[in-house]
Amino acid sequence: MTPLRRILKDYNDSGALHALVNIHAAVGKNLFLTKSGALVMLLGMRGIDPDCLDPGEKDRIARRFESALRFF
């Protein structure tokens, strides 16, 4: 079991997201402009319920997801 003190240490050390990404303005629905002039886009996706899949199907889906991540 992980001690609560260890979990809280990780949380306190992580810091705030706005310290890493300095968002200045919203350009579109999922598109933001940073103070340095870069554009940031948020992407989202829904997962597939793994409970109703056999191991072969899970493997194929994992490989497709892995190849999609390589694209980015």
Domain residue ranges of the chain, discontinuous segments joined by +: 4-71
Q: Pick the residue with more confidence: 6 or 26?
A: 26
Is the confidence at residue 46, as pLDDT, over 90?
Answer: no
Find residue 40's DSSP bridge partners.
32
Calculate the CA 16 to chain-centre distance.
15
Find residue 39's DSSP bridge partners.
33
Residues of the chain above pLDDT 90, percent: 28
Is the confidence at residue 60, as pLDDT, over 90?
Answer: yes
Contact 26, 32 (CB under 8 A): yes
E-only strand ranges, the chain: 23-26, 31-34, 39-41
Q: Give residue-wise pLDDT tens across range 16-38.
A: 776 777 889 999 998 999 888 99
Q: How far apart (Å, rounded) are the C-alpha atoms in residues 18 and 57?
A: 39
Residue 31 pLDDT: 93
Query: What is the reported pTM?
Result: 0.46
